[in-house]
Amino acid sequence: MSESPPSPDALKQLAPEQLVICHECDLLMAKMHLADGEKAQCPRCGFELYHHQANMLTRSLALVLAALLLFVPANFMPIMSLGLLGQHNNETVWSAVLALYQSEMALVALIVFLSSMLIPLLKLLCQGWVLLTLQLKLPAGFALWLYRIYHQMREWGMLEVYMFGVLVSIVKMVDLGDLSMGVGLVCFIGLLVCQIWLEATMSEHQVWEMLDELRTEQQVDEVMDEACD
């Protein structure tokens, strides 16, 4: 507010592209241009409006790739194993889903499957396709749709909560038997780190703007092509 924003009536005259609205409190503001690494905050309610990342595309692509490579071992390799009276049991993310399903808890099994496996995977695939679209100038329409789907799934992937679940289970089980950690745990931590880093790097407002620009370009090209024919 210190840098004297344009008056409300002046704001009304601006084009929608020059405006920002706070998601939380509906405050209308003129859009500020951000340098790399800067972020904009709502002056009324303190909500983070958007931030700007340098080399967003290549850094995000590398992180998506790393996360996808880690996905299979993180979910299908043993997170930990418990030994009791000579018997050994491995736990993987997938085997936990199966065990719940077999103990007639299909609904809980489904919830765990969705939030710890399927949605995190779909999120990565959506992010990967959107980034590839921007990098290789693929059709923007489909990527815009995918990114919307990603946005709706975002909250329902819960890898970090699962990680805490692993920690609590370790503490609960450590005195019970012969507990050991597996390769899956390392991969799972790796996957989690990649995902958190990716979400911080892949600035949403940059992605939306780039997708929008790409689509406009493609539409102009189409019109030009038709005019030539």
Partner 1 sequence: MKRAIDAGFMLCLECHAVNRQDPDNPEAGQICTRCHAPVYPRRPGSLARTWALLITAAILYIPANLLPIMVVSSFGKGSGDTIMSGVIALIHYDMVPIAIVVFVASILVPTFKLVGMGLLLYSVQRHQPLSARQRGVMYRFIEWIGRWSMLDVFVIAILVALVNFGSIAQITAGMGAVAFALVVILTMLAAISFDPRLIWDNTESEEDHDE
DSSP conformational letter for 229: -
**14 CA to centre of own chain:** 32
Binding of residue 126 to partner 1 (CB under 8 A): no
Does position 197 interact with partner 1 (CB under 8 A)? The reply is no
If binding is defined by CB under 8 A, does position 103 make contact with partner 1? Answer: yes
State the binding partner of 196 from Zn ion, partner 1, none, CB within 5 to 8 A by kind. Answer: none
Question: Is 153 near partner 1 (CB under 8 A)?
Answer: no
Minimal CA–CA distance to 144: which of 196, 55, 68, 209? 209
Q: Is 149 in the site for Zn ion (CB under 5 A)?
A: no
Task: Specify the stretch interacting with partner 1 by CB under 8 A; choose among 63-71, 117-125, 152-160, 218-226.
Answer: 152-160
Q: 119: Cβ–Cβ under 8 A, 6 or more apart, which residues?
A: 153, 156, 157
Sign (positive or negative) of CA dihedral 112, 113, 117, 122? negative
List the x/- string, 36-75, binding to partner 1 by CB under 8 A.
--------xxxx--x-------------------------
Q: What is the DSSP string of 96-165?
A: HHHHHHHTT-HHHHHHHHIIIIIHHHHHHHHHHHHHHHHHHT--HHHHHHHHHHHHHHGGG--HHHHHHH
Interface characters, 13-32, with partner 1 (x: CB under 8 A): ---xx-xxxxxxxxxx----
Cross-strand partners of 81: 90, 180
139 forms part of the interface with partner 1 (CB under 8 A) = no
Binding mask 73-102 for Zn ion (x = CB under 5 A): ------------------------------
Token digits for 59? 């850094």
96 C-beta neighbours (distance < 10 Å), count: 20
Q: Minimum Å distance from CB 38 to Zn ion?
A: 18
Binding test (CB under 5 A) with Zn ion, winner from 19, 38, 39, 44: 44
Applying CB under 5 A, the residues found at the interface with Zn ion are 22, 24-25, 27, 42, 44-45, 47
